[in-house]
Amino acid sequence: MIVELPGTTTSGISRALVKIREEGGAVALGRVLTLVIATRHGAEEEAIAAANAASREHPMRVIVLSTPLPATEGGDSRLDAQIRVGGDAGASEVIVLRAHGDTAKNEEGLVTGLLLADAPVVAWWPADTPDVVSDSPIGRMAQCRITDAAAQPDPRGFLAHLARTYRPGDTDFAWTRLTLWRAQLAAVLDQPPFETITGIEVQGASDSPSTTLLAAWLQSQLKVPARQELRGPTGSSAGIHEVKLERASGTITLVRTQPTIVTLTQPGQPVHDISLPRRNLRDCLSEELRRLDPDDLFGDVLQNGLADLSSPHRTA
C-alpha cells in the first residue's frame, strides 16, 4: 500500500502512520533499526529496492530524505511525502520525504520526529555525500554511516578524503565488496605449505576503489609491499581482476574469469573454479546492518594502509 501526502509536515506523517496501523494492522513493532537514506530527487528507487530486500533480514523503518540537486535548488518550500507499507515495503515501512526549497535545508528537523524510539540509526548516502559525513545533520544522529566510493566521480580521491575525515562508525561499500575476496585469500593462506609471502600484486579497473583497499589490506596484514596494476578506465563494475601472491614454491593466483566465478591456481594443486559473485547493493547493505559497531580493521586500512601504499601502475 502506498499513501501519498503532498504538502505535508512531519507531524502529519506521524498521524498518517498511526492511522495506517489502526486501520490496516501494519505495525512498527519488531523493527530493529531506522535506516535513513539521503539521496537526490529522481534517484530514490534503486536505494529503496535494496533496503526492501535487506529488510527481510533486518526489519526496519526506512526514511528516504530526497533533496533537489544544487542546480535546481530554490522555488517554493514544501514537503511531499509518501508512506509505503505491506508488499510495497518488504518487511519494513518506507517513508519517502521529497523536500523542496528552504525545507530541504532542515534535514535534521525533517527526520528526527520520524525515528523509531530506542533503536539504532544507520545513515546511507548512495551517491552524493556531505563533505564530512560524521559532522553532517544526518551523520550526527547515526551510529553507522555508509558511503559508496564507487559511486563518486573520483573514487580513489574519495577514499583519500574519507581517510582524512574518518570517524569510528564510518564505512564504505568499497570495503564491503571485499568480504568474499578477503575470506577466500585467508582460506588459501591457511593451507600448507606455510611459506612467507614475498610479493603481492592486485589488478583491477582504474576506477575501482575496492582494488586499492584490497592492496592496502594485504600489504598491512602480510607486511609485504603490494603492487597495484590498474587498467582502463573500464567502469567500476569491472572491479578486481586478479590477485597474485608470490612465495618460494610458486605464485598463488586468483583471477576473475566470469562475473560470478574466480579461478584459483596454486603450485602443485589442481585448478579450482570458486563461486565469488559480484556483490549488489542489497548484499552490501545487509552485511553492514549485521554489525552496527565501528569496523576497526576498516579504519586501520583506510587511515594507515592507504598512506603506506605505493602509487599504482596504470596500463591502457
* pLDDT tens track for 246-295: 999 999 999 999 989 999 999 989 999 999 999 999 999 999 999 899 99
Residues 223 and 311 grouped into a single domain: yes
Residues 30 and 119 in one domain: yes
pLDDT tens for 169-228 read 999 999 999 999 999 999 999 988 899 999 999 999 988 999 999 999 999 999 999 999
Tell me, yes or no, whether 223 lies in a domain.
yes
Q: According to the model, what pLDDT value does residue 236 have?
A: 42
Residue that terminates a domain, selected from 126, 147, 168? 147
143/30 same-domain check: yes
Of 106, 123, 147, at which residue does a domain stop?
A: 147
Q: Which is higher by pLDDT, 29 or 64? A: 64
Q: Give the pLDDT score at 69.
A: 75
| Total structural domains within the chain | 2
Quick check: is 127 in a domain?
yes
The reply to whether 167 falls in a domain is no
Residue 143 and residue 199 in one domain: no
Residue 164 domain-assigned (yes or no): no
Q: Determine the average pLDDT of the residues in 157-177.
A: 97
Q: Determine, yes or no, domain membership for 256.
A: yes
pLDDT of residue 29: 54
Flag whether 107 is in a domain.
yes
Give yes or no: residues 143 and 206 share one domain. Answer: no
* Residue-wise pLDDT tens digits, 55-93: 999 899 999 999 997 645 556 889 999 999 887 666 679
With bands split at pLDDT 50, 70 and 90, how would you rate the model's confidence at 238? confident
pLDDT confidence bin for 24, thresholds 50/70/90: low
Average per-residue pLDDT in the chain? 91
Mean pLDDT on 141-163: 95
Mean pLDDT is highest, among 22-31, 73-82, 151-160, for 151-160
Q: How confident is the model over 132-142, as a mean pLDDT?
A: 96
Task: Look up the domain containing 186 and give its range.
Answer: 179-315
Q: Is the residue at 163 inside a domain?
A: no
pLDDT the model gives residue 73 = 58
Mean pLDDT within 126-146 = 96
- pLDDT recorded at residue 149: 96
pLDDT reading at 44 higher than 50: yes
pLDDT > 70 fraction of the chain, expressed in percent and rounded:
93
Do both 77 and 143 map to the same domain? yes
If asked whether residues 245 and 298 sit together in one domain, one would say: yes
Percent of the chain with pLDDT over 90: 77
- Residue 88: what pLDDT? 65
Same domain, 127 and 208: no
Rg, Å, the chain Cα set = 22
**pTM higher than the cut 0.75:** yes
Supply the pLDDT for residue 253.
Answer: 97
Q: In this model, does residue 316 exceed pLDDT 90? A: no
- On whether both 142 and 229 belong to a single domain, the answer is no
pLDDT at 65: 97
Query: Which of 123, 147, 171 is the last residue before a domain boundary?
Result: 147
Both 214 and 104 in one domain: the answer is no
Same domain, 135 and 231: no
pLDDT value at position 180?
Answer: 96
73 and 185, same domain (yes or no): no
The pLDDT of residue 26 is: 52
In this structure, is residue 50 part of a structural domain? yes
